[in-house]
Amino acid sequence: MTDRISLDDHLGTLDAPEGLKTVLRVVAGACVDIRKVVAEGALVGALGASGAVNVQDEEQKKLDVISNDILTAALLACHAVAGVASEEMETVQPADHAGDYLALFDPLDGSSNIDINAPVGTIVSVLRAPQGTPTEADFLQSGRSQVAALYALYGAQTMLVLTTGSGVKGFTLSADGEWRLTHDAIAVSPDTKEFAINMSNQRHWSEAVQRYVDGVLKGADGPRGKNFNMRWVAAMVADVHRILMRGGVFLYPWDRREPEKPGKLRLMYEGNPMALLVEQAGGKATTDGTQAILDVQPEQLHQRIPVALGSANEIDAYAGV
């Protein structure tokens, strides 16, 4: 549908600094490049393990590394970017020039889906840069300071979902390689009958999470008085996309497997950008049902947090068990 507004045109009309628009154009272009490699997979030798582990002690896939290289190179070459940080890099990388923005990203979220041809995506958070060469401390801004957040979902369609702090818009990649507006004013329904959690961790959860999930599993016969459906794509980007499209809750709570870790997901490049998108779409994004992720003051670049986000009334129900 060539009569649909392009991302480029949308950014042209946006009341935002030119530098920020440039950063978003660069990210959108890098996501098209990542999409090409993801789509070709084995044809270009991109599947399988890279042989290395990242700073989180997770096995890196070749596509994690390739995606990280694509985004890092594109952003560091952008005059508006002062530095980048990524799930796949131990510390921050300053650009060799000044710039007004910092970008943090998970270059390929849902890595365990790569080799089975299931959805994966890219998540990006954009912050203002301080004067001078940015240090790690300069990236430790709360999620409320984000000037933009977006993800690209490499699914049945390739989509880019973006907020610059005033609503959420979705763009679909056309056959001729252009992002076109297909989802204006994305809104999360306040009520839902769908939840997403990795049920195999059930025995490790806290009592409160056990109670909540027990209640939804009992359906119409239990305290909630209605039947629930469950979905788990094992890629946060795809689970959050489903919630933006038709409501639901996504839960990755603290559990007893590694009790010293507050959760599995990372605050700076998973929790914060997704929280801004969900809040901007009218949903709630919390650590425990009550504390807003966006208000968490980060202490470390690769900090982990528990996540409970999605349909507002269902997040309240999660908080209330």
Where on the phi/psi map is residue 185: left (φ > 0), alpha (ψ -120 to 50), or beta?
Answer: left
DSSP state letters, 65-100: HHHHHHHHHHHHTSTTEEEEEETTSSS-EE-SS--S
How many other CB atoms are there within 10 angstroms of residue 50's CB atom?
15
Which strand (E) or helix (H) includes residue 38?
A: helix 18-40
C-beta of 87 vs 138, nearer to ligand F6P: 87
Under the binding rule (CB under 6 A), the answer on residue 234 touching ligand F6P is: yes
Q: Helix or strand or coil: residue 200?
A: helix
- What is the smallest separation between the CB atom of 109 and ligand F6P, expressed in angstroms? 5
Q: Which stretch binds ligand F6P (CB under 6 A): 25-33, 107-115, 170-178, 186-194?
A: 107-115
C-beta of 19 vs 121, nearer to ligand F6P: 121
C-beta of 82 vs 235, nearer to ligand F6P: 235
**Residue whose C-beta lies closest to ligand F6P:** 236
Interface with ligand F6P (CB under 6 A), residue total 11
Q: What is the spatial distance between Cα 194 and Cα 231, in angstroms, rounded to a whole number?
A: 7
Q: What is the spatial distance between Cα 179 and Cα 48, in angstroms, rounded to a whole number?
A: 29
Is 86 annotated as ligand-binding? no
- What is the smallest separation between the CB atom of 71 and ligand F6P, expressed in angstroms? 16
Nearest by Cα to 2 from 153, 184, 179, 168? 179
- What is the smallest separation between the CB atom of 200 and ligand F6P, expressed in angstroms? 8
- Please report where in the chains the tokens 């349909």 appear, as a residue: 311
- What is the smallest separation between the CB atom of 140 and ligand F6P, expressed in angstroms? 20
Binding-site member from 109, 194, 255, 314 for ligand F6P (CB under 6 A): 109
Under the binding rule (CB under 6 A), the answer on residue 148 touching ligand F6P is: no
Is 8 annotated as ligand-binding? no
Query: Binding to ligand F6P (CB under 6 A): which residues in 256-285?
Result: 264-265, 270
Under the binding rule (CB under 6 A), the answer on residue 236 touching ligand F6P is: yes
Is 87 annotated as ligand-binding? yes
C-beta of 194 vs 270, nearer to ligand F6P: 270
Q: What is the spatial distance between Cα 105 and Cα 76, in angstroms, rounded to a whole number?
A: 13
- What is the smallest separation between the CB atom of 234 and ligand F6P, expressed in angstroms? 4
Is 121 annotated as ligand-binding? no
In the DSSP assignment, the letter for residue 112 is: G
C-alpha distance from residue 160 to each of 27, 170, 174, 178, 313 (Å): 10, 6, 11, 11, 27
Residues of each annotated binding site = 87, 106, 108-112, 198, 264, 270
Per CB under 6 A, residues contacting ligand F6P are: 109-110, 112, 198, 234-236, 239, 264-265, 270
